[in-house]
Structure 1
Amino acid sequence: MSDRHVIETREEYLAAVDSISAGTGPIAIDAERASGFRYSQRAYLIQVFRRDAGVFLFDPPAIGAMTELDDAIADVEWVLHAASQDLACLREVGLDPAVIFDTELAARLLGLPRVGLGTVVEELLGIHLAKEHSAADWSTRPLPASWLEYAALDVELLVDLRDALAVMLDDSGKRGIAGEEFQATLDREVKAVRADPWRRLSGVHALRGQRSLAVARELWLARDALAQERDIAPGRLVPDASLVAVARAMPTTKRALADLREFTGRASRSELERWWQAVETGLTTTDLPVMKQAGDNTLPPPRAWSDRNPEADARLKGARAAVAVISEERSIPMENLLTPDLLRRVAWTPPVVIDAASVADELARLGARPWQVAATSQAIADAFVDADQEPDQSTEALS
C-alpha cells in the first residue's frame, strides 16, 4: 500500500494545481461525502488524477474554495463515475466542469449488466478494485491509510477505464448519444426545494388526519433544526419511523411521549423537551396542513390506471412493450432509453392528434434528448394508435 498524503494547506494545494496543470490528457475526479453521517452533502475528500501528474487527495473543508484548480482545468475533459452524484458537492467548492465523460453512464448505454466502478474496472481492465469503504464516514479525521488507498484507486484507473469505454462506444455507434447524455447530466437543473420538505418523511402518507400530519411536521422541523445545528444526518438522531409513531400515537403528555416504546434514537430521550415542544405545537396549532398538496402533478401509480384511466393504461402497456423491444435491440436499459416517468406522462396525456411527429414534440417538451426522441417516438405513436383502436372488452361482452 502506497503512502497517500492528504493536502490540507493552501500552499500545498496551489503547488498541486501547478502539477496538475502540467499533466496531460483528461482529468479523473471523484468526491467522498459523509452521507448518512452528516447533515450536509459537502465533499470531505476530493481525489484528482492526471497522467504525468499523479494522484492528489484534497481536504476541501481545510482548503476552502478550489477555484484555482477549476481555472487550471476548465478546458479539459473531466472523467467521473456517476457524475450526477458528485457534481453538486464539487460545484460547492468551485469545481464546475465544462465537458465530462461519465464512465458509469457510458457502461449503462453499452448495456453492461453491472455498472458499479469495481465491476466495470474488473471486467474491462482486469483489475480487482475493493469497494469496502464506499459507505464510510469521510468526515473522520485523520482518515485511515486504507481509506486513502481506496480513494486514490477510485481515480487512478478512471482515465484508462474511460479510454476502454470510449472505444466500445465508437464500435457500437453510441458515442453521439453518450455525448448527449453527458451534456444532459451537466445541464440538469438542481431540484427546487419542496414547499413542504417534511412530507419526505418516510411513512407520513400512512397517517390519517390533519392533526397527526401537524405533529409529524413539527417533529420533522425540530429534528431538522437540530441536525443542521450538529451537522448530523437527521435519521441518526431519531429515525423517521419513530417520528411517525409519535404522530400516530398522539401522546398528550411528556411522560406518555417518553413511555412510547416506538420512539427510539440516540437523541430521543436526551432531547425529550425539544420533541415534546414540537408535539405540543402540533397538537394546538391552527395552521393545519392539507392532506394533499395543491398543484401536485404526481400521476397515480400505474397499478391504479386500469380503474382510473383505462385508455391511458392501454397506451402505457402498449408503449412499454414497444420501448422494451427497442431497449433489447439496442442493448440500452429501458430507463436510459426513455425515463419511465416521461413515458407515463405522455401516455396519461397524449397529443390530440397521435402520430410520430406529435409524440416527438411532446417527448421533447417533457425533456427527452434528441436521440431518445428519434429512437422511440414512432414506436410509441404506433402503440398509442393500436391501443386506441382496440375494442372495449366490456362492450364486446354485452354484444
Structure 2
Amino acid sequence: MSTPNSPTSPADDAPVYTLVAAPAEGVPDVVRTPEALAAATAALAAGHGPVAIDTERAHGFRYSGRAYLIQLRREDAGTVLVDPIAFAGDDERAHLGALADALGDAEWIVHAATQDLPCLAEVDLLPRRLFDTELGGRLLGLPRVSLGALTEQALGKSLAKEHSASDWSRRPLPESWLNYAALDVELLVPLRDWVAAQLDAAGKRDWAEQEFAYLTEHAADPPHRRQDPWRRTAGTHEVRTPRGLAIVRELWHERDELAERLDKAPGRIVADRAITALAAKAEVRGFALTREELRSVNGFTWRQASRFEANWIAATQRALALPGSELPPKRATAEGPPHPKNWAHRFPEAADRWSTMRPATVELAESLSLPVENLISPDALRRLAFEPPRPATAASVDAFLAEHGVRPWQRGLVVPVVTPLI
C-alpha cells in the first residue's frame, strides 16, 4: 500500500508518481466565525503571489449550486478553508466580498473556472485576474486535463482523490473530507507555473490570457437557463403524444418547485424515469390517475415521492385538462439555428456552407493541437454557416463572430479560413 508522499506502485512500465495524501502543513481549522474570517483575510492579504482557490458543492444532493466549502491557498499564508454556510444570511456577501477586496489584484488560480465561478459569484467572491489550469491544459491540446492528470504529468505527483461526489452540505464535515479539500489547492500554484511555461513554449500564452480575461469579465453573469429544460427528462423519447409531453412538463415543473423549496436534488425526490413512465401511462389512459395507479409506477413509492402524491396527481390532471392549443410541440423550438443535420432539405445553401466550414475548422484545430470547441464555439460557427453577414468579407465575418463572443485570437485564426467558404 502506498504511504503519504511515497511512490505509488504502478505496473512495471508505467510512470511512477509520488502520492500526496495529506497537505504538507496539515489540515487547517475551518473558518466559521467573523473573527476567524478576519484573521484569515488578513493572512491571505499579507501573503505573496497568486491565490489558489477551489470550491466544494453538493451536486446530486442539493438543488442549489452554492458552495459549501471554499478553499484558498497563498504563499506565506498557507491554506484556508472557509465554511460559507456559517456566514449565510444578510451578511454573507459582505463577509466574503471583503475577502475578495483584500486580495486586490492578485491572480486567482482555479481549475475549471466555469464550475467554480457561479457559486463564488453568489457570495461576491470574484477575481480581478484569473488563471485557469484546466483551460490552459485544453489550449495545450493535452489529452487529459483533470486536476489529478495534470499534477501527475506536470509535477510527478498524484493527489489522493476520494470525496469529489460527496454531500458537502453535510455538517460537521469529516476530517478526511477536509483533507481532500485542502489537497485541491495544495499544488495549484506550481501547476499554474508549469502550465504557463508550456503555454509560453507553445506560443499560446496570449490565447490563454484572452480566455482568462473573458472568464473574469463574465464571472458574474447568471448561468444560462436552457429553454424547456423539462425536455431533457430521461425517457422523454418514449412519450408519444403532445398530451404525454404536457404531463412530463407539468410533473417536471412540480418536482422542480418542490426541489427548490426543499433544497434537494430533483432526482432525489422522484427519478426522471418515473416521470416519463407515469406520463406514458397517463397519456394512454386519457383521464386522471388514482393513487393506486400512481403507486404502481416504480419510483413514486420512494419515501420522498410518496410524500407528495397529491402534487403528482394534480400535475397530471392539469396536463390532461389543457386545451390542444396549449400542448407542447413534439419537437422543441430551437434556440438559434436548427441543428445542421436538418438543413439539407430546408436550407441547402446553409448545409453546403456547413459541410465545408466545419471540416475546415476541425482541420485547423488539429493543426494547432486544440480541441475544436476551444478554437470556436459550435454555436458561433453554426450561426455563421446558417445566416452569414452579407457581403461576406473578412471584416464583416470578424464583426459577426465578435458579436457572438468569439475572442480576438480565435477570430484571427478562423476568419481567414471560413470567409472564402461563405
Percent of paired sites with the same residue: 48
| In 1, Cα distance between equivalents of 2:105 and 2:66 | 24
| In 1, Cα distance between equivalents of 2:418 and 2:300 | 49
**Greater mean alpha carbon deviation, residues 56-65 or residues 198-207:** 198-207
Change (3 A) 1:354 1:245: same
Match 1:46 to one of 58, 70, 79: 70
Q: CA deviation at 1:209?
A: 3.6
Q: Can you give the 5+ residue segments of structure 1 that lack an aligned partner in the other structure?
A: 385-399
- What does residue range 77-156 of structure 1 map to in structure 2 within 5 Å? 77-156=107-186
Q: CA deviation at 1:68?
A: 1.9
Match of 1:237 in 2: 269
- What does residue range 290-369 of structure 1 map to in structure 2 within 5 Å? 290-291=328-329, 296-369=334-407
**Greater mean alpha carbon deviation, residues 196-205 or residues 171-180:** 196-205
Q: CA deviation at 1:268?
A: 2.9
Whether the aligned pair in 1 keeps the contact of 2:109 and 2:188 (CA below 8 Å) is yes
Whether the aligned pair in 2 keeps the contact of 1:13 and 1:63 (CA below 8 Å) is no
User: What is the one-letter code of the residue matched to 2:62?
Assistant: R
Match of 1:179 in 2: 209
| In 2, Cα distance between equivalents of 1:134 and 1:89 | 16
Match of 2:84 in 1: 60
| In 1, Cα distance between equivalents of 2:32 and 2:155 | 32
Whether the aligned pair in 2 keeps the contact of 1:27 and 1:49 (CA below 8 Å) is yes
| In 2, Cα distance between equivalents of 1:52 and 1:36 | 36
Q: CA deviation at 1:172?
A: 1.6
Q: Is structure 2 residue 279 aligned with structure 1 residue 279?
A: no
Change (3 A) 1:236 1:165: same
Q: CA deviation at 1:59?
A: 0.6
| In 2, Cα distance between equivalents of 1:176 and 1:378 | 19
Question: Per the alignment, in what secondary structure is the counterpart of residue 28 of structure 1?
Answer: strand
Whether the aligned pair in 2 keeps the contact of 1:201 and 1:240 (CA below 8 Å) is yes
| In 1, Cα distance between equivalents of 2:335 and 2:175 | 49
**Greater mean alpha carbon deviation, residues 118-127 or residues 249-258:** 249-258
| In 2, Cα distance between equivalents of 1:365 and 1:157 | 37
TM-score (norm. length: structure 2): 0.85
Whether the aligned pair in 2 keeps the contact of 1:322 and 1:383 (CA below 8 Å) is no
| In 2, Cα distance between equivalents of 1:56 and 1:256 | 53
Q: Can you give the 5+ residue segments of structure 2 that lack an aligned partner in the other structure?
A: 1-21, 283-287
Q: CA deviation at 1:269?
A: 2.6
Whether the aligned pair in 2 keeps the contact of 1:45 and 1:57 (CA below 8 Å) is yes
Whether the aligned pair in 1 keeps the contact of 2:54 and 2:71 (CA below 8 Å) is yes
Question: Per the alignment, in what secondary structure is the counterpart of residue 108 of structure 1?
Answer: helix
Match of 1:259 in 2: 296
| In 1, Cα distance between equivalents of 2:361 and 2:372 | 7
| In 1, Cα distance between equivalents of 2:133 and 2:125 | 19
Question: Per the alignment, in what secondary structure is the counterpart of residue 388 of structure 2?
Answer: coil
- What does residue range 150-229 of structure 1 map to in structure 2 within 5 Å? 150-188=180-218, 189-191=221-223, 193=225, 196-204=228-236, 207-229=239-261
Whether the aligned pair in 2 keeps the contact of 1:81 and 1:103 (CA below 8 Å) is yes
Q: CA deviation at 1:146?
A: 1.9
| Total equivalences in the alignment | 384
Q: Is structure 2 residue 94 aligned with structure 1 residue 76?
A: no
Match of 1:389 in 2: none
| In 1, Cα distance between equivalents of 2:125 and 2:77 | 19
**Greater mean alpha carbon deviation, residues 15-24 or residues 136-145:** 136-145
